[in-house]
Amino acid sequence: MVLQRIFRAVIMGPPGSGKGTVSARITKTFGLSHISSGDILRSNINNKTELGLLMKCCIDQGQLVPDDVMSRLILRDLRAMDHSSWLLDGFPRTVPQAEALDDAHSVDTVINLNVPFQTIKQRLTSRWTHLPTGRVYNVDFNPPKVPGLDDETGEPLVQRDDDTPHTVTLRLKAYENQTEPVLEYYRSNGVLETFTGTETNMIWPHVEAFLHKKLFSVKQKVA
């Protein structure tokens, strides 16, 4: 689908709610450019930048990265996409971040994935990662072909520090305390749409139908 004007969306949900998977389907189906805060974090951490080391310390302790650091990193990338339609995955996570985004760009819609915390705990603690690429496997529903090894490189998989049961609990509490107010912020702005479920494949058709309707409406308005 070729849009007649710039369309910009945010996808939200707790860590492990399937934001990455749904984001990939949105970008493939609707042609939006995907900006993942996780990709930007990994790049800085892998390159061991000063901000990357600070962020790794926060993540390992189950804490959110400071607002000013995240906003500076994400908005820097968005400035290079002034004439593009995009989907933000993993940002904003706090009201100050949302306000910083609104100051710079107009957000058309916010997709919220509402997945029960117990489902996420089971999903994340079963997750193993190939650190050099960020490829993620789940021993329950997306296992590697050879247990403990990456499918493409054959290198060892590890359980990230932030996927251990204790840290997952801390991350979910941090999300609930600091990120939930962002949902209310966007709800009050009239741009929030929430999709509830325990499996990504059950949530996706509803997200797809909503965006088809939303984008068709956009196309009609500007025709």
CATH code of residue 128: 3.40.50.300
User: Which residue among 8, 56, 123, 171 is the active-site one?
Assistant: 171
Per the CB < 8 A criterion, the answer to whether 155 and 111 are in contact is: no
Residue 17: which of 186, 183, 204 has the closest Cα?
204
Can 72 be counted among the known catalytic residues? no
- pTM of structure: 0.76
Query: pLDDT category, 2, cuts 50, 70, 90?
Result: low
Residue 25 is labelled as binding a ligand: no
Domain limits at 45? 8-217
89 inside domain: yes
Number of domains into which the chain is organized: 1
Q: Over the stretch 155-182, which tens digit does the pLDDT of each residue have?
A: 999 988 878 888 888 888 888 888 889 9
Residues in the chain: 223
Residue type, 119: T
Q: Over the stretch 117-152, which tens digit does the pLDDT of each residue have?
A: 889 888 888 889 999 998 989 887 789 999 999 999
Can 187 be counted among the known catalytic residues? no
Residues 14, 4: Cα–Cα separation, whole Å? 32
157 inside domain: yes
Per the CB < 8 A criterion, the answer to whether 170 and 60 are in contact is: no
Residue 97 is labelled as binding a ligand: yes
Residue 141 is labelled as binding a ligand: no
223 inside domain: no
Contacts of 176 (CB under 8 A, 6+ apart): 14, 117
Pairing of strands 86-89, 8-12: parallel
Residue 73 is labelled as binding a ligand: no
Count the Cβ atoms, other than its own, within 10 Å of residue 164. 15
222 inside domain: no
Can 127 be counted among the known catalytic residues? yes
Structure tokens at 136: 């993620």
Q: With 90 as the cut, is the pLDDT of residue 153 above it? A: yes
The per-residue DSSP string of 28-63 comes to HHH-PEEEEHHHHHHHHHHTT-HHHHHHHHHHHTTP
94 inside domain: yes
User: Which residue among 160, 187, 214, 219 is the active-site one?
Assistant: 160
172 inside domain: yes
119 inside domain: yes
pLDDT at 4: 62
Residue 178 is labelled as binding a ligand: no
Which of 103-107's residues contact partners 24+ apart within 8 Å by CB, and which partners?
104/75, 104/78, 104/79, 105/8, 105/78, 106/8, 107/8, 107/9, 107/10, 107/186, 107/191
180 inside domain: yes
Pairing of strands 135-138, 127-130: antiparallel
Q: At what angle do helices 67-79 and 37-46 cross, to 10 degrees?
A: 100
